[in-house]
Chain A
């Protein structure tokens, strides 16, 4: 037991590879990994995991109680495993950092459930404030725009935007952040850093890696299993000073992150939505439970105690709509509308509406989904840009 209390040591290069091999074992958990690495050189930990050095503790019990895990570990801990892992880390450009390293994120030193190791590309800027912007993978256009604007304006104010690089709100927040010139985005992901997930976010993934940092608790080769996402969320919550939830249904990963944040005393804020709209049910619930309300980026910057006068504005490059088409926009400003409602309110014919809406949509002023038209602001372009971010 004394081993558990001794101060962590800085790992050598070989030891870092050994840690990666351990983390990559099947059925490895954060708790098991913490125990294996607690006060023990990683190379010794390999022997414990393989069963050649009994630890008289949890690992022996695991090996005893789950023979198939023991078999898998013995299988995976072959002589070549270290070389393969070293090659994989090298190929992807992943660094292995541990609690003794200088760039180990400060908040994780005091966390009650910290990762045992982090795999990173790029590095965390220690002097930057950090705000997590997260939300559903299935957002509305309005939600994506809000996320993109928050991402951009927070970055402009010098804040690192932390998010999970998932589809929907997460992606939009980082796209917004990357549209800013002064940016240090942090993406925390649930799988190994060798393969972008979701694949559609490959471009975004590499942009975040290049201009900020990507973090994962697991080594290259780890698959994006469903159970890893809630664990990833706790790291997002731990790293952030504020967690902003943009859109979430009544259940969802974002609420897991919000709860993890609340457990850690991290401020939770939420963008409220119209009652009765499913995609904002979760955020409204958060507001009801006392989360801070985010109506604009200034609300977040105020809590951080930052000046919000220097936030830049994105130039609106959309061609202005014709007068006739433009007069439809106020009808869509507050809430989405169907063609039926537009016909009723505008008094135009179906054909006139169709041509105006087609032009508005072409120029990025409105978005149609499943028969509903929504007005867009200039952030929609940023939020939906798949590969063209600078």
Chain B
């Protein structure tokens, strides 16, 4: 007897439709899976056998062949368990074949017949398109984000047999509560003082500029960075869908509504491997942190402590907004449209920036430390801000800073202004467009000329400063021309990491 049911597997952040064909016939008893299963798929034989026996059905002791079509692409993961079990039941005549028409199943089986959630339900459900789909209870909301047909949550294999084999109605499982509450929202009003870094955050949010904080330990770099996502507007529908797919594929708990609507904030530890950051792995090409942070903020704390090879792999996604991960047999394109925020100490001892004269590293040692972050990467940061520890008076002051809500409103207005003018955020402006949308007034030109002539600013640096100045002007709604104060402020906001301050020779 032959049966077939649709299911899917995950590659990168995309689901692929797989037809699970089961053939049961006389012959030596055996249970074989073909169609390039990897070890994790082959193991499902044992789970399927045990699950079927657990729900009180005799497992057919004749020859069972399972084919996963298309059979030339490798399959991985346990998402096919449920479909294989249903296929076996149908081929062994416990379920009528007609019941499987237009039906798909996704889920892992427990030995007791329970149906368990798997990562990537949303993209897999998206791939099975118009089928009704049976999913684990816990993945119900996730499936609904992408489903075109009906979503049928089930708790165990017995329920499936009841509905398909005996004509019971589909069981009703209320959608589970969120597995964990989102972290308590961080508000900008907790930050005391820090005018310059606050300004940088606001500009980063409004212009999409990559941002680097340089400052001694305890100066509040991490606290500031964590407040950037709050300033960003909610994701638009398509972006939210893409982000949800990636989060589902990465096995990250989705918010209660099932859809990721807030820009994500990811801060991988500095020991993270290249594969963890970029994505990959030989089996299913899991999305890396750059993809999970897509649409939001990737925060790299202690930037120089990351392996240089890891940092250099960031350059391509920063440029193109996606990563193309390829392995011998498989390849995947993953979204990576993230905003990079990084924090670092200004020197190995960390005391530089506390007060002039408190650092004990010589100039050479500090220079070697900074050299661990490659020039091309540093160059991507439009905003490079020195953070100094706040005064005791400010920390103790009862006066809260401006709150996230107020700043986010200004950010939204400035973003709209940029998008309606040039169709993109200011960080994406090219040199030619800058000439059109960010002309300098004569006084600002004087400042720019003197900086360029003294070698404190390079041609490329000039473009970057102008982009930031454009965002400053958008936030202030001060018209088309950039004035001297706006230009000087933009310069001030990329001051950090110039070896001897702006008086140094190595301006970038």
A338 lies within 8 A of chain B by Cβ: yes
Asked if A278 and B196 sit within 8 Å, CB to CB, the answer is no
- Of A24-32, A66-74, A308-316, A339-347, the one touching chain B: A339-347
Name the interface residues of B187-201: CB closer than 8 Å to any CB of A: 193-196, 199
* In the complex, residue of chain A having the shortest beta-carbon distance to the beta carbon of B454: A362
Return the CB mask of A345-382 against B: 1 if under 8 Å, else 0.
Answer: 00001111011011101100001111110100000000
- Chain A contacts for B214, CB-based, 8 A: 370
- Chain A contacts for B502, CB-based, 8 A: 358, 361, 368
Within the complex, the shortest CB–CB distance from A376 to chain B, in Å, comes to 9
Asked if A350 and B195 sit within 8 Å, CB to CB, the answer is yes
- Chain B contacts for A336, CB-based, 8 A: 355-356
Asked if B501 and A358 sit within 8 Å, CB to CB, the answer is no
- Chain A contacts for B346, CB-based, 8 A: 370
* In the complex, residue of chain A having the shortest beta-carbon distance to the beta carbon of B347: A370
Asked if A278 and B488 sit within 8 Å, CB to CB, the answer is no
Query: What CA separation (Å) do A369 and B501 show in the bound complex?
Result: 5
Return the CB mask of A265-288 against B: 1 if under 8 Å, else 0.
Answer: 000000001000111100000000
Q: How many residues of chain A get a CB closer than 8 Å to chain B's CBs?
A: 40
- Chain B contacts for A167, CB-based, 8 A: 362-363
Knowing A343-B195, A367-B503, A371-B496 are in contact, say whether A277-B491 is a contact too (CB < 8 A).
no
Query: What CA separation (Å) do A349 and B475 show in the bound complex?
Result: 15
- Chain A contacts for B54, CB-based, 8 A: none
* In the complex, residue of chain B having the shortest beta-carbon distance to the beta carbon of A251: B360
Query: What CA separation (Å) do A362 and B362 show in the bound complex?
Result: 25
Query: What CA separation (Å) do A380 and B486 show in the bound complex?
Result: 28
Within the complex, the shortest CB–CB distance from B223 to chain A, in Å, comes to 15
Knowing A279-B358, A354-B485, A361-B503 are in contact, say whether A338-B388 is a contact too (CB < 8 A).
yes
Return the CB mask of B264-298 against A: 1 if under 8 Å, else 0.
Answer: 00000000000000000000000000000000000
B352 lies within 8 A of chain A by Cβ: yes
Asked if B357 and A280 sit within 8 Å, CB to CB, the answer is yes
Return the CB mask of A134-167 against B: 1 if under 8 Å, else 0.
Answer: 0001111111000000000000000000000001
Query: What CA separation (Å) do A350 and B484 show in the bound complex?
Result: 13
Asked if A137 and B353 sit within 8 Å, CB to CB, the answer is no
Interface centre among B359, B451, B488, B500 (most CB of A within 10 A): B488
Asked if A351 and B486 sit within 8 Å, CB to CB, the answer is yes
Asked if B447 and A371 sit within 8 Å, CB to CB, the answer is no
B361 lies within 8 A of chain A by Cβ: yes
Q: How many residues of chain B get a CB closer than 8 Å to chain A's CBs?
A: 45
| From B194, B394, B450, B503, contact of A384 by CB (8 A) | B503
- Chain B contacts for A343, CB-based, 8 A: 195
Within the complex, the shortest CB–CB distance from B475 to chain A, in Å, comes to 11
Query: What CA separation (Å) do A362 and B486 show in the bound complex?
Result: 17
Within the complex, the shortest CB–CB distance from A351 to chain B, in Å, comes to 4
Asked if A371 and B353 sit within 8 Å, CB to CB, the answer is yes
* In the complex, residue of chain A having the shortest beta-carbon distance to the beta carbon of B503: A367
- Chain A contacts for B487, CB-based, 8 A: 355
Query: What CA separation (Å) do A354 and B388 show in the bound complex?
Result: 16
* In the complex, residue of chain B having the shortest beta-carbon distance to the beta carbon of A372: B356
Knowing A278-B351, A358-B492 are in contact, say whether A249-B195 is a contact too (CB < 8 A).
no
Query: What CA separation (Å) do A186 and B316 show in the bound complex?
Result: 54
B391 lies within 8 A of chain A by Cβ: yes
Asked if A340 and B390 sit within 8 Å, CB to CB, the answer is yes
Within the complex, the shortest CB–CB distance from B362 to chain A, in Å, comes to 5
B440 lies within 8 A of chain A by Cβ: no
* In the complex, residue of chain A having the shortest beta-carbon distance to the beta carbon of B361: A138
Knowing A340-B195, A350-B199, A368-B501 are in contact, say whether A277-B488 is a contact too (CB < 8 A).
no
Knowing A340-B390, A340-B391 are in contact, say whether A277-B489 is a contact too (CB < 8 A).
no
B158 lies within 8 A of chain A by Cβ: no
B495 lies within 8 A of chain A by Cβ: yes
- Chain A contacts for B361, CB-based, 8 A: 138
Within the complex, the shortest CB–CB distance from B220 to chain A, in Å, comes to 12
Within the complex, the shortest CB–CB distance from A223 to chain B, in Å, comes to 16
Within the complex, the shortest CB–CB distance from A342 to chain B, in Å, comes to 10
Query: What CA separation (Å) do A369 and B356 show in the bound complex?
Result: 8
A247 lies within 8 A of chain B by Cβ: yes
* In the complex, residue of chain B having the shortest beta-carbon distance to the beta carbon of A340: B193
- Chain B contacts for A368, CB-based, 8 A: 495, 501-503
* In the complex, residue of chain A having the shortest beta-carbon distance to the beta carbon of B194: A340
B339 lies within 8 A of chain A by Cβ: no
Query: What CA separation (Å) do A359 and B193 show in the bound complex?
Result: 24
Asked if B359 and A371 sit within 8 Å, CB to CB, the answer is no
Knowing A167-B363, A370-B214 are in contact, say whether A340-B394 is a contact too (CB < 8 A).
yes
Within the complex, the shortest CB–CB distance from B348 to chain A, in Å, comes to 13
| From B353, B451, B492, contact of A354 by CB (8 A) | B492
Query: What CA separation (Å) do A351 and B485 show in the bound complex?
Result: 5
- Chain B contacts for A358, CB-based, 8 A: 447, 451, 488, 491-492, 502
| From A142, A338, A340, A355, contact of B488 by CB (8 A) | A355
Query: What CA separation (Å) do A273 and B352 show in the bound complex?
Result: 18
Asked if B391 and A138 sit within 8 Å, CB to CB, the answer is no
Within the complex, the shortest CB–CB distance from A206 to chain B, in Å, comes to 20
Name the interface residues of B449-508: CB closer than 8 Å to any CB of A: 450-451, 454, 472, 484-489, 491-492, 495-496, 500-503
- Chain A contacts for B488, CB-based, 8 A: 351, 354-355, 357-358
* In the complex, residue of chain B having the shortest beta-carbon distance to the beta carbon of A338: B388
Knowing A278-B359, A355-B447 are in contact, say whether A372-B492 is a contact too (CB < 8 A).
no
29 contacts between A and B (CB under 8 A): A142-B356, A143-B357, A167-B363, A249-B360, A277-B357, A278-B358, A279-B357, A336-B356, A340-B195, A340-B196, A340-B390, A343-B195, A349-B485, A350-B489, A351-B488, A354-B485, A355-B488, A357-B488, A357-B492, A358-B491, A358-B502, A361-B501, A362-B450, A367-B503, A368-B501, A369-B352, A369-B501, A370-B214, A374-B356
Residues of B at the A interface (CB closer than 8 Å) are: 193-196, 199, 214-215, 346, 351-353, 355-363, 386-388, 390-391, 394, 447, 450-451, 454, 472, 484-489, 491-492, 495-496, 500-503
Apart from A279-B357, A357-B488, A370-B388: 10 A-B pairs, beta carbons within 8 A: A138-B360, A138-B361, A167-B363, A278-B360, A336-B356, A340-B195, A350-B199, A367-B501, A371-B496, A372-B388
What 4 A-B pairs come out closest when comparing CB atoms?
A279-B357, A371-B386, A370-B353, A355-B488
